[in-house]
Homo-oligomer: A and B are copies of this chain.
């Protein structure tokens, strides 16, 4: 029995919930009110120094963070992570792809759009992420010509990870028409036994329109070596 630190509207949290649903593994949940600043509490920073969810704490006190690392840990020895070294590495390849080209594009735009932050972001940044999101979806569609699932012929944690945000591209303003192979893959994932269709709207958290609280950054940057301890909000 371990503890999952979660924030329900987070699809990174969904990834772990989905795998745990497949595995039928019992766990405790502790919700972290990230927009209220609970991610920056000293207690939580000891669990995950980046202050983000999901994270897990084993009963012996050891902690693990980063959704894709948690997926790999929990899937070890199960059908959701292959035992063969090369097949495992292909799963890791697509977990890296997901982090850089799906979560950081569709995930970011979806968060900003659903919580009213899109207009507060630099328009060029929004445009860059939007284009990168469409490229990622087109790439996935092309890749799925040769195989049924993201990292091979079987459903793995790579499918769980990519699905988490890619399935919600429309909410991110990144829906694409005509990606037939991608759409069939979405359907195959939804048809998995134990598929967790439940998601939680940001709107259930009245504080989700706030910017994520962050601790002051106190470092002495090389640009201002004489002013140790100043707050740094941008390039010196």
A interface list, Cβ under 8 A from B: 49-50, 58, 62, 64-70, 72-73, 76-77, 85-86, 88-90, 92-93, 95-97, 99-101, 104, 122, 124-128, 130-131, 134-135, 137-139, 142-143, 170, 173-179, 214, 217-223, 225, 228, 232-235
Complex alpha-carbon distance, A122 and B96, angstroms: 25
**A181 to B: closest C-beta gap in Å:** 13
Instruction: Judge whether B125 and A125 touch: CB under 8 Å.
Output: yes
Question: When the two chains form the complex, which single residue of B99, B131, B174 contacts A96, counting CB atoms closer than 8 Å?
Answer: B99
How far is it, in angstroms, between the C-alpha of A225 and the C-alpha of B222 when the chains are bound?
A: 50
Contacts of A135 in B (CB 8 A): 214, 217
Tell me whether B89 and A219 are in contact (CB under 8 A): no
Closest partner residue, chain B, to A67 (CB atom): B96
Q: Is the CB of B49 within 8 A of A219?
A: no
Q: Can you tell how many copies of this chain the complex includes? A: 2
Given A99-B100, A126-B235, A179-B219, 18 further pairs, Cβ under 8 A = A49-B142, A50-B139, A66-B92, A66-B96, A72-B88, A73-B88, A99-B99, A104-B104, A125-B125, A127-B234, A134-B221, A137-B219, A173-B223, A174-B221, A176-B221, A177-B221, A177-B228, A178-B219
Q: Is the CB of A86 within 8 A of B62?
A: yes
State whether B93 touches A234 (Cβ < 8 A).
no
The answer to whether B235 and A138 have CB atoms under 8 Å apart is no
> When the two chains form their complex, are residues B138 and A222 in contact, meaning their CB atoms are under 8 A apart?
no
Contact present for B125 and A124 (CB under 8 Å) = yes
Q: What's the least CB distance linking A115 to chain B, in Å?
A: 17
- In the bound complex, do residue B72 and residue A89 qualify as a contact, i.e. CB atoms below 8 Å apart? yes
B220 near A178: Cβ-Cβ < 8 Å: yes
Residues of B within 8 A of A95 (CB): 69
Given contacts A49-B143, A89-B69, A122-B122, contact A235 B127 (CB under 8 A): yes
